[in-house]
Amino acid sequence: MSERSLKAYDAWRDEAQRFDYFILGLIGAVTAYVVQNLEPHKVRSLLFAIQLAGLILLIAAASFGFRRIEQNIALLRHTYTRLEWEENLSSLVENYRGNAVRTNLGDVLTPEDTENHAQQLRAAIAKIGELQEVAAKASGKNYLRRNWCFFVGFILIAISRAVVVFP
């Protein structure tokens, strides 16, 4: 990857994280407002039921928002580990010429040890690639769930408030 691509990726990642934090803060603020102004009624009241459903959806949206952030952190950790292992594998293969190889730590690897280590790294890279895919899919699902719960919950709260103001 070029230096320009790395800078663009870092900028995108930082802005995506800020946006997730902003949305989560917005969900928290709307939820706090609703809880603060919630007037308990009998559950048989349609407006209270709509308000309660909206509140539950807002709480679910916050939960999905936290899960998304958690999955993104896991994805970043997996990406870092994968890049580190790929660099180690590249260095190992680059330095291997059928002879013993000296590692960065000063250890000497025989040709058999070098081949075994390279195979272990390839298997680990493949495994962590699968973990990256799982984390990315989970993050995407939590993104959609968060947005839909927030949207529907906000609409339900707005409807319950509008009916009270405009009977």
Across 28-45, average pLDDT: 83
Considering the chain, what is the average pLDDT of its residues? Answer: 85
Model's pTM, two decimal places?
0.79
Confidence (pLDDT) at 42: 67
Query: pLDDT tens across 131-161, in order?
Result: 999 999 999 999 999 999 999 999 999 998 8
Taking 60 as the threshold, does the pLDDT of residue 1 lie above it? no
The pLDDT, as a whole number, for residue 7 is 77
What pLDDT score was predicted for residue 71?
93
How far is it, in rounded angstroms, from Cα 130 to Cα 115? 23
Rounded Cα gap, residues 5 and 115, in angstroms: 32
Q: How far apart are the first and last CA of the chain?
A: 61
The per-residue pLDDT for 87 is 86
Per-residue pLDDT, 166: 66
Contacts of 55 (CB under 8 A, 6+ apart): 31, 34, 35, 38, 153, 157
24 contacts: CB under 8 Å, gap ≥ 6? 62, 65, 66, 69
Segments in the chain forming alpha helices (H)? 3-36, 46-95, 111-165
Max distance between CA atoms of the chain, in angstroms, equals: 86
Give the tokens for residue 123.
Answer: 């298997």
